[in-house]
């Protein structure tokens, strides 16, 4: 018998803007998606995957490596098989369908990383509805790597906020963020020096803004770990954020503990 349902909100983005009017390949990271999801399922929870358009998220090819699984080739193969074949990853709904069917039945929400959420989720109004609901209900809200930037979707003018960041107008972005639900929360996210590696080695170009810049402009208290690419998770009230791909297992474990606390409280 299921302990409850967890909503996983994925991205549909496959390209991301880089400076100079160009774009680079993007998507969700395999390990950041399946490691926490498999932990939730092993912990007795049912997972429902939703995206803006109801199609399955694209996996960034940069994440298709055993190095993201501690060099464990068997774990990498299990992850690929899980994402390809498990029903939880293939019965995809739109975010709107999930909202219309009612969010009260969900115990938590999880947003995986990869750079893709920077493109669509951080400015998606329907994800904004989801986040505001879980914030109001004080239910666990977990986001990993680039995923934490998606919490700005809770802003009424999230699209304008993102556009201001792309334009380099941080004063305008800060003005648009007044009254943000997560202002003053401690949180972490893929930091600028970690991003530089991706820009240099994968995108071959610079992004328009860093993730800490975005969350700080919105009013978040961003705290990075002392070592790049080392596991780092911050939990502040209902918000659980993980900094980078190697935070996948720690974030999943932290989310499970938060869910168990909710069960005990009930």
Q: Which residues of the chain have pLDDT under 70?
A: 263-266
**Tokens at residue 46, please?**
């049912």
Specify the pLDDT at position 173.
98
pLDDT tens digits, one per residue of 143-174: 999 999 999 999 999 999 999 999 999 999 99
Specify the pLDDT at position 265.
63
Closest CA to 188 of 157, 153, 227: 227
Residues 189, 149 contacting (CB under 8 angstroms) = yes
Helices (H), ranges, the chain:
30-42, 73-85, 95-101, 125-137, 158-166, 170-176, 192-198, 211-218, 248-265
**DSSP state letters, 36-51:** HHHHHHHTT-EEEEEE
Domain carrying residue 191: 5-265
Could you give the 3-state DSSP secondary structure of residue 201?
helix
Specify the pLDDT at position 262.
79
pLDDT tens digits, one per residue of 13-36: 999 999 999 999 999 999 999 999
Beta partners for 144?
242
The structural domain count of the chain equals 1
Residue 245 to residue 240: CA distance in whole angstroms: 15
Q: Give me the CATH number covering residue 73.
A: 3.40.50.880
Q: What is the pTM of this model?
A: 0.97
How does 211-230 read in b/e, with b if 16+ C-beta sit within 10 Å?
bbbbbbbbbbebbbbeebbe
* Total residues found in the chain within this entry: 266
Integer angstrom CA distances of residue 163 from 29, 225, 245: 25, 28, 26
């Amino acid at each position: 018998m299921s302990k409850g349902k967890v909503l996983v909100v994925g991205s549909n983005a496959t390209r991301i803007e880089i400076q100079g009017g160009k774009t680079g390949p993007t998507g969700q990271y395999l390990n950041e998606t399946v490691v926490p999801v498999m932990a939730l399922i092993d912990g007795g929870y049912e997972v429902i995957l939703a995206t803006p358009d109801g199609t399955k998220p694209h996996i960034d090819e940069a994440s298709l490596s055993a190095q993201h699984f501690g060099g464990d080739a068997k774990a990498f193969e299990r992850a690929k098989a899980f994402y390809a074949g498990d029903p939880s990853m293939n019965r995809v709904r739109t975010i709107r369908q999930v909202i219309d069917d009612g969010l009260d039945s969900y115990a938590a929400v999880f947003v995986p990383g990869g750079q893709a959420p920077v493109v669509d989720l951080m400015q998606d109004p329907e994800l904004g509805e989801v986040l505001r609901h879980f914030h109001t209900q004080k239910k666990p809200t977990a986001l990993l790597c680039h995923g934490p930037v998606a919490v700005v979707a809770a802003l009424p003018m999230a699209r304008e906020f993102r556009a201001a960041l792309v334009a380099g107008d941080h004063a305008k972005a800060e003005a648009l963020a007044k009254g943000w639900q997560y202002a003053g929360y401690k949180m972490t996210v893929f930091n600028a020096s970690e991003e530089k590696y991706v820009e240099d080695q994968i995108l071959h170009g610079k992004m328009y803004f860093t993730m800490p810049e975005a969350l700080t402009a919105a009013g978040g208290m961003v705290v990075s770990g002392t070592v790049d690419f080392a596991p780092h998770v911050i939990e502040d009230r209902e918000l659980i954020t993980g900094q980078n791909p190697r935070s996948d297992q720690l974030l999943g474990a932290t989310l499970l503990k938060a869910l168990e606390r909710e069960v005990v409280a009930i």
